[in-house]
Amino acid sequence: MENCCNQRHNREAYAFVLLLFLTVFVRLALIAFYPKINRDSLVFMKIAKNVAEGQSNVFGVNSVQPLFPMMIGGLNWIGIPLDAAGYFIDIICSVILAACSYFIVLELFKNRTAGLLFMSFCAFHPIFIEINTEILRDSLYLAVFSLFVLFEIRFVLRRKYSDILLLGCICGISPWIRNEGVELLVYSIILFFSLLVYNYFNQDNGFKGKKHIVHVCLYIMGLFLASGSIYKLSAQFGFDWYRQFSHVQALILKAKTCLI
């Protein structure tokens, strides 16, 4: 009986790895034979090129959230072509989306087969494939959103402070990708305080005492220290994150020169 269970778990693990491989393979094949770069992709690549060259964002200080172009620009700065850097980020995000879809179902239903089915849906649905094969921030935001859903569920079911911190950090970086990322901050705060009220009236000891206060503080710290509110506030004062990135590049080059 135990051997049968182990064999089944092994098959499911192999299926999980195979689906991850197929997720990457399908997207690489589409990129190789039908590469698609639209007008928005060109805008991000232009910004990334300026970032890699140590310039500011030519489209305006805060007209485009900086995380996605900076990631492409950072990869281009170390020698990866702009389009290859964009596609590389897309592929990594597709893997995150597929893996998160599996673990979300596993957390909710404790059923590996159902998790693999949902993972297949996210891996091979035409809309997800299209999103993951264009150089757009949608791919990155979708990956972050899937992580948000996963850790939100883990927090509700397990109530571990590590999940609280991760959830706070995920919520924090989302507004650096898209304006809609602010919604994740709002959703998480509403859910968190809804749980507090629910557990208070149901006399749940899991949310009482000093430990609970520490968890609340950690969660708020995760939200606002790693948070897009920093980006939003700085944007109001015209702070240029792209220019700051160029300063970091200059410091790295100076450090490398000193070491040589």
Task: Quick: pLDDT tens for 179-197.
Answer: 777 677 667 666 666 666 6
On whether residue 22 sits in a domain, the answer given is: yes
pLDDT tens digit sequence for 75-90 = 988 888 989 999 999 9
pLDDT tens digit sequence for 223-248 = 555 555 566 556 555 566 666 666 66
CA-based nearest residue to 64, from 137, 173, 171:
137
Helix (H, G, I), strand (E, B), or coil: what is residue 167? Answer: helix
Distance CA 240, CA 256 (A): 25
In total, how many domains does the chain have? Answer: 1
Reported as type and span, the H/E element at residue 113 is helix 112-124
On whether residue 196 sits in a domain, the answer given is: no
- 260 confidence band (pLDDT: 50, 70, 90): low
Average pLDDT taken over every residue of the chain: 77
CA angle 206, 207, 213 (to 5 degrees): 130
On whether residue 170 sits in a domain, the answer given is: no
On whether residue 187 sits in a domain, the answer given is: no
For 123, counting Cβ atoms within 10 Å of its Cβ (0-12 exposed, 13-18 middle, 19+ buried), the class is buried
pLDDT at 36: 79
On whether residue 237 sits in a domain, the answer given is: no
How large a percentage of the chain has pLDDT more than 90? 22
Higher pLDDT, 159 or 157: 157
pLDDT at 228: 56
Residue bearing tokens 């990631």: 71
pLDDT tens digit sequence for 120-158 = 999 998 989 988 898 888 899 999 989 988 888 887 777
pLDDT at 23: 94
Higher pLDDT, 221 or 108: 108
pLDDT at 61: 47
pLDDT at 5: 63
- 199 confidence band (pLDDT: 50, 70, 90): low
On whether residue 16 sits in a domain, the answer given is: yes
On whether residue 3 sits in a domain, the answer given is: yes
Residue bearing tokens 């911190």: 165
Distance CA 202, CA 223 (A): 27
pLDDT at 175: 79
* Half-sphere CA count of 181, side-chain side, radius 13 A: 31
- Burial state string for 183-207 with b = 16 or more CB within 10 A and e = fewer than 16: ebbeebeeebeebeeebeeeeeeeb
Q: What residues contact 140, with CB distance under 8 A and at least 6 apart?
A: 67, 68, 71, 89, 93, 177
Q: What is the domain range of residue 27?
A: 1-34+81-157
- 200 confidence band (pLDDT: 50, 70, 90): low
- pTM given for the model: 0.79
Which tokens go with 105?
């179902």
On whether residue 50 sits in a domain, the answer given is: no
